[in-house]
Amino acid sequence: MLTLLRHINRISATSKGSDEKKSHMLTQLKSSIVYYSCPLIFLTLNPGERYSPLALFYAGEKIDLKTFDPECWTAANRLKVMMDSPLAMLEYFHTTISTIIEGPLKQGLFGKMSHYYGTIEY
């Protein structure tokens, strides 16, 4: 019975959002604190796709990013575009966060970055 429970734990540890996955992530985070010491900066990043013309562009809307007028897009219209294009919004989110990490953070905005740990909440 104990062997069965270990196998179930091992399998569910890779399932996004599962309790086992969160437990493994917490262990990784604690280990990184031991290895790299306590973090100096905590950041929460939320690209805000509902208000970004770039998100509409990712969703395939034909807009000019340089002359974008937000008054032409109601909140309901933007939300419909976002809901109809979940993969485009995922790509927008991933690209935006990767750009922030690879650009200003790794280039030394807050000094030399020795380590970062990122999670995505669903």
pLDDT at 13: 60
The answer to whether 73 and 56 are in contact (CB under 8 A) is yes
Average pLDDT over residues 67-91: 88
Cα dihedral: 19, 25, 28, 33 (round 10): -110
Residue given tokens 């939320």 in the structure block: 46
Please tell me the distance from the alpha carbon of residue 119 to that of residue 103, in angstroms, as a whole number: 18
The answer to whether residue 88 scores a pLDDT higher than 70 is yes
pLDDT at 70: 79
CB proximity list for 88: less than 8 A, separation 6 or greater: 55, 58, 59, 60
Please tell me the distance from the alpha carbon of residue 42 to that of residue 26, in angstroms, as a whole number: 15
Where on the phi/psi map is residue 118: left (φ > 0), alpha (ψ -120 to 50), or beta?
beta
Query: What is the overall mean pLDDT for the chain?
Result: 82
Model's pTM, two decimal places? 0.68
pLDDT, one tens digit per residue, over 37-54 is 887 777 888 888 888 888
Which has the minimum average pLDDT: 15-29, 59-73, 81-95?
Answer: 15-29
Which residue ranges make up each domain of the chain? 1-38, 40-122
Residue 9 or residue 120, greater confidence: 120
